[in-house]
Amino acid sequence: NELGYSMAELKKILKRFILYSECGSGKLNAGTGKTYYKIMEKPLKQKIAGILSKSEFRDYIEPGSIMTNSAIVYFDVKEGVDMVFFSGIFNRYLTESISAIGKPLYAFYSIYKHGRSLIMPEGFTKKNAAEDFASNFGLDPLKVARIGDQGQKFGLDEDMLEKSGFTVHWDN
């Protein structure tokens, strides 16, 4: 290869190369090919869809915008809705509904597509992915640099960037 490493050396390097996806719910060890996922079960997704269709939220959510993957429920909030305000109300509702839902949930929003919100069970966060990364390498989690551009209230990077050692948050 162009780098001058033997195949055995490359495999050893790749075993320490870990990719995280879906806000920390997916992880791939590039060297071993082993994947790790936190899955959101179908009954939980159905409960979330039921919450999103409640009358108190229907006026805020774009019709037909609810989507899911293995770990996250996505939906779009209508143009003109204050995302911090909506996320605050929605997260308060999720917190009050833990007994009915059966699991703590949290809603985030993205600054890249106005109104795109994500609902994930507690622990599906970039902060947890960064802490997992640190533990895989025997590092103090507070000594791992964390860089993000969505550290605003209810933003995708908020928990990763707050009180987490060295962090960099930039504004677009």
pLDDT tens column, 68-114? 887 788 899 898 888 889 999 999 999 898 888 888 888 888 876 66
**What confidence tier does 37 reach under pLDDT thresholds 50, 70, 90?**
low
**What confidence tier does 39 reach under pLDDT thresholds 50, 70, 90?**
confident
The CA-CA-CA angle for residues 69, 85, 44, to 5°, reads 30
**From the centroid of its chain, how far is CA 129?**
9
**What confidence tier does 143 reach under pLDDT thresholds 50, 70, 90?**
confident
**pTM recorded for the entire structure:** 0.69
Report the pLDDT value the prediction gives residue 136, as an integer from 0 to 100: 78
CB-based contacts of 157: which residues, under 8 Å, 6+ apart? 126, 146, 148, 149, 150, 151, 169
What is the Cα–Cα distance from 29 to 2, expressed in whole angstroms? 23
Of 10, 1, 32, the C-alpha closest to 19 is: 32
Is 128's pLDDT higher than 70? yes
Q: Using an 8 Å Cβ cutoff, are 45 and 70 in contact?
A: no
Report the pLDDT value the prediction gives residue 120, as an integer from 0 to 100: 78
Q: Give the rounded percent of residues in the chain with a pLDDT score beyond 90.
A: 1
Is 24's pLDDT higher than 70? no
Q: Name residue, tokens 């055995």.
A: 8
**What confidence tier does 164 reach under pLDDT thresholds 50, 70, 90?**
low
Sequence-distant contacts of 10-17: CB under 8 A, at least 24 apart: 16/136, 16/137
Report the pLDDT value the prediction gives residue 43, as an integer from 0 to 100: 86
- Of residues 86 and 155, which shows the higher confidence score? 86
Got the DSSP string for 32-93? T--EEEPPPPHHHHHHHHHHHTSHHHHTTBPTT--EE-SS-EEEEBPTT--HHHHHHHHHHH
Of 154, 131, 121, 155, the C-alpha closest to 48 is: 121
Q: What are the backbone angles phi and psi of residue 133, rounded to the nearest 5°? A: -55, -50
DSSP character at residue 4: -
Pick the range with the lowest mean pLDDT from 31-40, 65-74, 133-142, 143-152.
31-40
pLDDT in tens, 44-60: 888 888 888 888 888 89
